[in-house]
Amino acid sequence: MNITLIGASGFVGTRLLDLLNQDKEKYTLKNIDIAQSHFFPTLTQKGDVRKQEDMDTGLKNTDLVILLAAQHRDDVTPISLYYDTNVEGMKVTLNAMEKNNVKRLIFFSSVAVYGLNKDNPNENFSPDPFNHYGKSKWQAEQVLQEWYKTHKDWNINIIRPTVIFGERNRGNVYNLLNQISSGKFLMVGNGNNKKSMAYVGNVVGFVKYMTDNVKEDYNVFNYIDKPDCNMNDLVAHVSKVLNKHIPTIHFPYWLGMLGGYCFDIMAKITGKKFAVSSVRVKKFCSTTEYDSSKAMATGFLPPYTLKEGIARTLEFEFVHPKPDDIQFVSE
């Protein structure tokens, strides 16, 4: 199977390339990205998902496209970049697929399409995105829905993962784990809000499973590692894995948001990006619990439990000597 990955030089793409590349007799891989891959330079060619010529050329002799390219950080400027990459990039990709007679697509969307503080939404839940990332991902899905109406012979699989974490990732989960492990963690709220998460080793395992087994129709899957844990449980697990006492002080939500707004003002004045913002405080205190029963009903068995994924990440980042300093920055 000839697989072309678009935007796979980052965190998830690197782990996916690593997993698929272990079976060279089964898969022939190519990565198209505007950035070079640290670990797979020989599989990577320069290309921009927003440029039709790049995609037309890049998707030649392809059986399956895996689209990961996206603008996903909270602080992307200008805002139009979310839509240029996430929405217009989808249109460019679909046109290139049609020109090259490619009829299989796996697209990384996000649970951000549901919005905040929803009651365990499944794939049939009405979208209600609250930020430009979520809005642009939902618009990209709408493009796919319209496309499929006239391309019923295609196989389109959409993954809506929750926040993905793992070794080498420098995103919100890493920042949280780093704060907890340092003993300087400030708990905003009562800590009972549940946080859905997904370990990268399980996410890429699910993609490989879909590649081999879900080859027909239009399918949408949430991906979350269950069971969800709340913030108090997470702190306790970090304490256990690192074998250290981690004190927690609970601050009221209003005080945390006030601090977030202060950092927003400082960021605007200085032009610097800070680890704390009102958006991140809001996301931290929200309940982000999603249903993943549909993905699990496919027969996929995650290779790791959520707690094993957290432990593997903690041990790599905070216990064992690092083999190098390569990191992937995301949300």
CATH number of 114's domain: 3.40.50.720
Is position 300 within any domain?
Answer: yes
Lowest-pLDDT range of 61-75, 181-195, 295-309: 181-195
What is the domain range of residue 46? 2-166+196-226+292-304
CA distance from start to end of the chain: 32
Structure tokens at 120: 């365990």
Is position 281 within any domain?
Answer: no
What's the pLDDT at 38? 96
Mean pLDDT score, 149-169: 97
Tally of structural domains, the chain: 1
Is position 156 within any domain?
Answer: yes
Q: Could you give the C-alpha distances from 177 to 20, 82, 197, in angstroms and in order?
A: 29, 28, 13
Q: Are 201 and 303 in contact (CB under 8 A)?
A: yes
Lowest-pLDDT range of 126-135, 180-189, 304-313: 180-189
For the chain, what is the mean pLDDT?
Answer: 93
Lowest-pLDDT range of 84-93, 109-118, 161-170: 109-118
Is position 98 within any domain?
Answer: yes
More confident residue, 163 or 72: 163
Q: How many CB atoms lie within 10 A of CB 190?
A: 13
What's the pLDDT at 331? 63
Is position 74 within any domain?
Answer: yes
Nearest one of 182, 228, 200, 163 to 312, comparing CA atoms: 200
Is position 12 within any domain?
Answer: yes
pLDDT of residue 108 exceeding 80, the answer is yes
pLDDT bin (cut points 50, 70, 90) of residue 189 is confident
Is position 96 within any domain?
Answer: yes
What's the pLDDT at 288? 79
Is position 271 within any domain?
Answer: no
Count of all residues that appear for the chain in the document: 331
For 329, the 3-state DSSP assignment is strand
User: Is residue 133 annotated as a catalytic residue, yes or no?
Assistant: yes
CB burial readout 301-312, b (16+ within 10 A) else e = ebebebbebbbb
Of 27, 114, 133, 223, catalytic = 133
